[in-house]
Chains A and B, each alone.
Chain A
């Protein structure tokens, strides 16, 4: 057993409230809750954190990482690089040690000796005999494992100067319903702290109380999107388990149990069905939407692949549906537990024939809530499928985000629904008739009126009165009306957000979704290097004209996204008739969320290349 510190580094990193800690663990070892406790404790000290799980498609025994970005400045993306590695997994030791920044810190369980060759000389190494401490205190195997995790949180709290009272407060809240567990957790925390106080010194990375969190909340995007669906009035959810979307359906179930069950009768104002597959799930959604209920499914890329035929039916028969696509690494089964933005084209043009589907592109859980509710209004108004495109990074990680807001005067916008009264008053009902030029027809719910308003819904071509027709002109007019409806969609979708550089520039950058926080930091870093970029964050498809205007007004525009094939660029080029050479892709697709440093390096390299070429 080795104990204590070896400081070979010439210049140990000295950073306050601005560093990256990465935990390397074995999955199934109970580390996730201890790591989350660590991140939340820093948050409670008033310092913003961004925490990300990088985990395997497995239940027990494989490597998993948890990366905590501590940033008083408020950068919530991944920065890139690691300043303190908490190396708890022998399987990944070598790569974990290699990842530490020069001058950084390695913390490990020193119960068993590790040969000197396994360490680096340019970092500070901190060992604590965690297993020995746990085994000396606890007899039961699972307790030894779980409390070892709390012990290392205790050691870290000492090393980083964290306030133990904050951690105790969080533990008390977490175990409020099982108060017996509170003293045991306190004990484990202090075992770690006390051992560290006797054997180690605080390190150069320090957390100091600050006031930079404000009223923000810390929540997963899937949870926020599910809450959005509750507020958006969704009553029917049909889903099939698939990572990384499963927790969305589970959160919807929990919120419905909390808010939608009559306490006296037990009657539920919702219906949730776990389908036998994704096809049945979207079929149930289409059936419920046809019959006037707000319905959704949540899935990932493989599920959207299976749903194609129904999405085409929703488009052509004009039936409201909402699909939350929590994107993961594709193609095929791909990397089920890694993140990507690689379903954009799949969703935008889903199904055979000429189709296009509106998409919402939330950047964080706050927008997941907002767009989650909005999607149901849009689906009803446009009578078509609306995609809400999350990804694993937003969906399954807790993000610091603005608090959820709701205007109590807001009601459900059901769009053009012809009622029994309107039919009785003699309204001419043509299910596929464009009565006011926006391409959106009226619909009736089944059972509306004893003799008026019934129609036959089909995926085959039909005339404005829903009668089967194979006439070319009738088909053509309908297809053109659907394009007109897509124009209406354009006017209803959330507009892009433009942020101009601090100095006039001819360069621009376009991005969307979970790339946003890393982009914010990257632009700030580039500005310090004298590179100024105007930025546009796209929030929806179809794109508004201001997107094309942004591109037209700049000499060069980078499109930063998390897929291999530059899918947003393809959509921009295709839909906006843009010269592809005007858009330079910056692509990050190896599964971990994009980092600010990656964006900085890529754009710097592309620009210096351009300067070189100009000079030659």
Chain B
């Protein structure tokens, strides 16, 4: 067998969430990624987010493309259906899955090669359509599985492990997502779990296309001096504009914030997103100003992180299509087949 069996024992005193699940219940198979890979931290953050949100694991579907990042859905949420699709085409498959059953939560996991190169078109169009999903790009600026070629998010002037300089302009997926109409946009760093977990939780609760760009250093091929996606570089240049707290609808609001230091976003299920401001002049409800701010700070060499934009009342693809509330995959002949009487009328109209 080419997969690694995971020991089944549980620590008896592992904490349980409101549904009685432990974190172990949200884990998957043993990761086959390199030791220290940023992607494993993101998988752990997804596990933590699902645990804290009290999600029923089987009510989530996880989809990915091809590449190191796209292997990860096997390593979390083992009780969820997963789909490792084809390179760069996860967004269309996720779109179709979402159309078939609007009641599940859809998590798309992709990489910078998968989403910014071969899959840039599909990334753009899934966002444009407002597919209700959480779309995470595990962004390391490099092709890992084929051993170290630059990806389209590599910064101009950054150096590969072999010392080759990248001459091409980088694609900024956050800027694209904002321009294309994503209704929830964040950026984070795989090394900052306290920032990443609430961002994922907020994205899952968001009822529209939520995109998170997570800088996730590749320890094997892009963690050297001269790289702009290394652990050291990202830590030095990370500028968080805010800190997010996600408060579920049923939980009493316990946090105590200084007046004027926060902005809140009400969620449709009664929950609240509370943003503690770090950059006082940053307004995540203004798409145009967010885009301008990001451009300015990026030119200054900063990697801006946090919840960068959120639309509190998005309309998703089902809303645009007026799809019935019942998942389409549950409809049968009675709802779908007009029957012989209708057919006789059609025949009469064709004579």
Q: Residues on A close to B: CB < 8 A?
A: 215-219, 227, 230-231, 233-236, 238, 259-262, 266-273, 275-277, 279-293, 295, 309-310, 313, 403-408, 410-412, 444-451, 454-460, 463, 467-471
B93: A residues at CB distance < 8 A? 283-284, 286-287, 290
Complex Cα gap A287–B122 (Å): 14
- Of the listed residues A279, A447, A454, A467, the one surrounded by the most CB atoms of chain B closer than 10 A to its CB is A447
Within the complex, the shortest CB–CB distance from A65 to chain B, in Å, comes to 24
Chain B interfacial residues counted at CB < 8 A: 63
Question: Is there a chain A Cβ closer than 8 Å to B74's Cβ?
Answer: yes
Cβ B336 vs Cβ A451 within 8 A: no
Cβ B323 vs Cβ A287 within 8 A: no
- Of the listed residues B94, B331, B346, the one surrounded by the most CB atoms of chain A closer than 10 A to its CB is B346
Cβ B340 vs Cβ A468 within 8 A: no
Residues A290 and B83 in contact in the complex (CB < 8 Å), given A270-B328, A283-B95? yes
Question: Is there a chain A Cβ closer than 8 Å to B12's Cβ?
Answer: no
Residues A287 and B3 in contact in the complex (CB < 8 Å), given A218-B350, A262-B324, A454-B80? no
Within the complex, the shortest CB–CB distance from A400 to chain B, in Å, comes to 10
Question: Is there a chain A Cβ closer than 8 Å to B104's Cβ?
Answer: yes
B125: A residues at CB distance < 8 A? 275-276, 280
User: A279's contact among B92, B99, B101, B340, by CB below 8 Å, is which?
Assistant: B92
A458: B residues at CB distance < 8 A? 83-84
B122: A residues at CB distance < 8 A? 276, 279-280, 283
A290: B residues at CB distance < 8 A? 83, 93, 96-97, 100
Complex Cα gap A276–B125 (Å): 7
Question: Is there a chain A Cβ closer than 8 Å to B192's Cβ?
Answer: no
B337: A residues at CB distance < 8 A? 230-231, 233, 406, 410, 412
Cβ B89 vs Cβ A446 within 8 A: no
Within the complex, the shortest CB–CB distance from B303 to chain A, in Å, comes to 30
Residues A309 and B2 in contact in the complex (CB < 8 Å), given A236-B328, A283-B93, A295-B96? no
Q: List 13 A-B contacts (CB under 8 A).
A: A215-B347, A230-B337, A233-B331, A235-B328, A236-B99, A268-B321, A269-B328, A280-B91, A284-B92, A284-B93, A290-B97, A406-B343, A411-B333
Interface string of B49-67 (1 = CB under 8 A from A): 0000000111101010000
Question: Is there a chain A Cβ closer than 8 Å to B38's Cβ?
Answer: no
Residues A271 and B336 in contact in the complex (CB < 8 Å), given A283-B96, A468-B2? no
Question: Is there a chain A Cβ closer than 8 Å to B322's Cβ?
Answer: yes
Label chain A's interface by main secondary structure.
loop
Cβ B2 vs Cβ A448 within 8 A: no
Residues A408 and B342 in contact in the complex (CB < 8 Å), given A267-B324, A288-B99, A469-B3? no
B63: A residues at CB distance < 8 A? 287
Residues A230 and B332 in contact in the complex (CB < 8 Å), given A218-B350, A238-B96? no
Within the complex, the shortest CB–CB distance from B332 to chain A, in Å, comes to 6
Cβ B56 vs Cβ A457 within 8 A: no
Which 10 A-B residue pairings sit nearest by Cβ, starting from the closest?
A287-B96, A283-B92, A293-B100, A446-B81, A292-B329, A291-B100, A287-B93, A284-B96, A288-B96, A217-B350
Question: Is there a chain A Cβ closer than 8 Å to B250's Cβ?
Answer: no
Question: Is there a chain A Cβ closer than 8 Å to B338's Cβ?
Answer: yes
Cβ A259 vs Cβ B96 within 8 A: no
A286: B residues at CB distance < 8 A? 85, 92-93, 96
Complex Cα gap A291–B98 (Å): 8
Question: Total A-B pairs in contact (CB under 8 Å)?
Answer: 237
A260: B residues at CB distance < 8 A? 335-336
Cβ B104 vs Cβ A276 within 8 A: no
Complex Cα gap A405–B342 (Å): 10
B346: A residues at CB distance < 8 A? 227, 404
Residues A231 and B338 in contact in the complex (CB < 8 Å), given A217-B347, A456-B74? yes
Cβ A467 vs Cβ B328 within 8 A: no
Within the complex, the shortest CB–CB distance from B247 to chain A, in Å, comes to 26
Complex Cα gap A408–B319 (Å): 32
Question: Is there a chain A Cβ closer than 8 Å to B339's Cβ?
Answer: yes
B2: A residues at CB distance < 8 A? 467-471
Cβ B336 vs Cβ A459 within 8 A: no
Within the complex, the shortest CB–CB distance from A233 to chain B, in Å, comes to 4
A234: B residues at CB distance < 8 A? 336
Complex Cα gap A460–B85 (Å): 9
Residues A287 and B80 in contact in the complex (CB < 8 Å), given A272-B321, A277-B121, A459-B86? no
Within the complex, the shortest CB–CB distance from A36 to chain B, in Å, comes to 13
Q: Specify the chain A residue showing the minimal Cβ separation from B129.
A: A273
Knowing that A444-B81, A458-B83 touch, tell me 15 more A-B residue pairs with CB under 8 angstroms: A233-B337, A235-B329, A260-B335, A273-B95, A276-B125, A280-B121, A283-B92, A288-B328, A292-B329, A293-B96, A293-B101, A412-B332, A447-B103, A451-B79, A458-B84
B57: A residues at CB distance < 8 A? 450, 454
Question: Is there a chain A Cβ closer than 8 Å to B82's Cβ?
Answer: yes
Question: Is there a chain A Cβ closer than 8 Å to B325's Cβ?
Answer: yes
User: A450's contact among B74, B79, B94, by CB below 8 Å, is which?
Assistant: B79
Cβ B58 vs Cβ A454 within 8 A: yes
B98: A residues at CB distance < 8 A? 287
Question: Is there a chain A Cβ closer than 8 Å to B351's Cβ?
Answer: yes
B92: A residues at CB distance < 8 A? 238, 275, 279-284, 286-287
Question: Is there a chain A Cβ closer than 8 Å to B78's Cβ?
Answer: yes
Cβ A236 vs Cβ B96 within 8 A: yes
Cβ B333 vs Cβ A233 within 8 A: yes
Cβ B95 vs Cβ A287 within 8 A: yes
A272: B residues at CB distance < 8 A? 321
A313: B residues at CB distance < 8 A? 85-86
Q: Specify the chain B residue showing the minimal Cβ separation from A469.
A: B2
Complex Cα gap A280–B125 (Å): 9
Question: Is there a chain A Cβ closer than 8 Å to B73's Cβ?
Answer: yes
